[in-house]
Amino acid sequence: MNHTVMTYYAAHKRFTISVLLILFFISFYDLHAREVERSLYGSISATEYLMGKFTPGKHELFTELGRMGIPTMGRTQYLRIETAEALKKMYQAFHQEHPNAPFWVQSSTRNFWDQKRIWENKWNGITKVEGSKLNQSIPNPAERAKKILEFSSMPGTSRHHWGSDLDFNKLFNSYYESGEGKILYEWLQKNAADYGFCQPYTAGRNGGYNEERWHWSYRPLSVRLLKAWNQNFLSGKAPLNGFAGWNVSKKFAHEYVNDINSECL
């Protein structure tokens, strides 16, 4: 074998090794990315998850709150396992300090179709808003959407889809100004962050939903999902439609999802 042929074989070997190494790193990276996706969405797609198009009771990353010993009201309530575990610790700490004060989950994970029902009942005047049937009192669709958006998300944009967010006892702010509501709210303001929870819709923000003292979010999960929601939405992978008034409402989605208390970012 002459010198030129030997150099050729050496170069060929080096090239083959480099290609194999690159392929190895690509597949490792891909595997890692899939693992991260799976930890966030389980066996469904990112878009299905972020749009709330799944049944929490059938999703492997969710758990039923009653089974974990967390007090609930109304229908069977589900949250992501990590949210429920943190909430249980928070409930136990609150209960120890205030054994007679009520603490229950009024609403937790709601999917796209739950949110569609809430939204459309307000849109069509079935649920009155501040005593009015909005389909009669606000005929202009964009103005009607803004009125509903004071307190309700359009389907596909609710943090309640994510399994990280929940509503406590009563869904009106004045409940938290005195008595048992005040005990709970002041305790949450002081201690919830120790358990990973924050209040996304505080008073005094520039836009987005109104203040909601009852709505709290498990930050370690919701921060990741907020980022993913934005990527998914801005890439156009998940067009907002399939509910009454979607064509005039979707332009508000980005603002309402993102205008939250900076402690939840």
Cα(188)–Cα(178) distance, integer angstroms: 14
Q: Which stretch binds Zn ion (CB under 5 A): 51-59, 149-157, 176-184, 215-223?
A: 215-223
What are the DSSP E strand ranges found in the chain?
62-64, 78-80, 105-107, 165-168, 197-198, 215-218
Nearer Cβ to Zn ion (209/246): 209
Question: Considering the complex, what minimum distance in angstroms separates the CB of residue 51 from Zn ion?
Answer: 17
94-153 positions binding Zn ion, by CB under 5 A: none
Residue 72 gets the label, from left (phi > 0), alpha (psi -120 to 50) or beta, of beta
Long-range contacts of 80-86 (CB under 8 A, 24+ apart): 80/109, 80/162, 80/163, 80/164, 80/218, 80/221, 82/218, 82/220, 82/221, 83/163, 83/164, 83/166, 83/218, 83/221, 86/195, 86/196, 86/197, 86/218
Q: Which stretch binds Zn ion (CB under 5 A): 14-22, 173-181, 208-216, 230-238?
A: 208-216
Question: Considering the complex, what minimum distance in angstroms separates the CB of residue 21 from Zn ion?
Answer: 50
Nearer Cβ to Zn ion (114/167): 167
Question: Considering the complex, what minimum distance in angstroms separates the CB of residue 177 from Zn ion?
Answer: 18
State the binding string over 58-97 for Zn ion (x if CB under 5 A, else -): ----------------------------------------
Closest residue to Zn ion, based on beta-carbon distance = 215
Question: Considering the complex, what minimum distance in angstroms separates the CB of residue 79 from Zn ion?
Answer: 12
Structure tokens at 11: 């170069």
Q: Which stretch binds Zn ion (CB under 5 A): 73-81, 133-141, 183-191, 213-221?
A: 213-221
CA 222 vs. chain centroid, Å, equals 6
Residues 6 or more apart whose Cβ sits within 8 Å of residue 193: 263
User: Using an 8 Å Cβ cutoff, are 105 and 65 in contact?
Assistant: yes
With CB under 5 A as the rule, give the number of residues binding Zn ion. 2
Q: Which stretch binds Zn ion (CB under 5 A): 3-11, 41-49, 182-190, 207-215?
A: 207-215
**167 makes contact with Zn ion (CB under 5 A):** yes
Question: Considering the complex, what minimum distance in angstroms separates the CB of residue 200 from Zn ion?
Answer: 9
- Interacting residue ranges for Zn ion, rule: CB under 5 A: 167, 215
